[in-house]
Amino acid sequence: MGVQERQIISADVLSKDSLANGGHISDRRDLHEVIIGIPGTQPHAADELARSDSEVVEDKAKAIAMGAVTASTLYGLAHALSGGDTALAEDVVDMLHSAYTSAIAARGIICLQGHDVFVIALPSHLRGGDGPVVRMFCHSIGYFLADACLIVFEVGFRKRFPKLWLGRLAHHFIHSVSNLPSIFKTTGAEESLALCSGLCMAYFAEFSSIFLRLRNIARRTDRIGLRRALNWFLLASFGLSRLVNFPFLIRC
């Protein structure tokens, strides 16, 4: 294939992707074709970007496993350090999960940009399959999977019923139904972008859970001022991350 033919392919790929994604290249195979079409580009540089679908899925599965292992390890440490206090360990791990996910979600919201099809959407460097937002989705699913396994173990084998165990299982199921399409869907650039951007904004709701868990921990103390302050922070964060955020999400 000559230089002119390669340049035509590059321009065609860029044009199609621009129409579908507001001028950003989000599909790694398209990027691979673009780079190959640039005269003088080393083939191995393009090959590093054009990973197969199976490799991408494998990386995401590893990220989910990493989230599950990290959550389990943190729970074990918190449980041991608290002298076997299950409720405290759950509060600590859930607070860490909420802090991590809401921080990534806030970064995504701050970086939202105008889009030709949608009102706003995530930029290409955040919405990619190996970007921080999708990686956060994977880690979060891993955390929910670890918690679901803990509940099944406690109920099925130890005949103990963790606090709000039915509600937690329902919550994890709903989140899985929401997360998995955003994580693994690779076809339909506009639909994938909408799923990823919408779920990222929805994840900011975890921000209020930080203060919910801190309030639960503070209840173990007699510091009335601290508990009162956390109640106000919980109220304000709930209003911002849920009552304001979700209408904003629906509008976008």
Residues 182 and 106 in one domain: yes
Distance set, CA 112 to CA 31, 62, 108, 207, 243 (Å): 22, 27, 6, 18, 20
Write down the pLDDT at residue 19.
41
- Answer whether residue 136 is part of any domain: yes
Write down the pLDDT at residue 3.
38
- Residue 193: closest CA among 112, 110, 247, 136: 112
Distance set, CA 76 to CA 49, 86, 143 (Å): 38, 10, 13
How does pLDDT run across 140-187, given as a tens digit for each residue? 999 999 999 999 999 989 888 888 899 999 999 998 888 888 888 767
Q: For residues 184-209, give the mean pLDDT.
A: 88
Single-letter code of the amino acid located at 30: D
Q: Are 29 and 16 in contact (CB under 8 A)?
A: no
Residues 44 and 121 in one domain: no
Token pair, residue 130, equals 């190996």
**Which range has the worst mean pLDDT, 20-24, 67-71, 125-129, 208-212?**
20-24
> Domain span at residue 25?
3-49
- Answer whether residue 67 is part of any domain: yes
Single-letter code of the amino acid located at 152: V
Q: Which helix H or strand E contains 23, and what residues bound it?
A: none
Token pair, residue 200, equals 């990222």
Provide the pLDDT confidence category of residue 139 given band limits of 50, 70 and 90: very high
pTM of the model: 0.77
Q: For residues 181-207, give the mean pLDDT.
A: 87
Residues 112 and 147 in one domain: yes
Mean pLDDT (the chain, rounded): 81
How does pLDDT run across 28-72, given as a tens digit for each residue? 444 444 444 444 433 433 443 455 667 788 899 999 999 999 999
Residues 142 and 79 in one domain: yes
Residues 13 and 130 in one domain: no
Can you tell me which residue has the tokens 């955040």? 126
Token pair, residue 199, equals 């779920």
Q: For residues 71-83, give the mean pLDDT.
A: 96
Integer-rounded Cα Rg, in Å, for the chain is 22
Residues 150 and 68 in one domain: yes
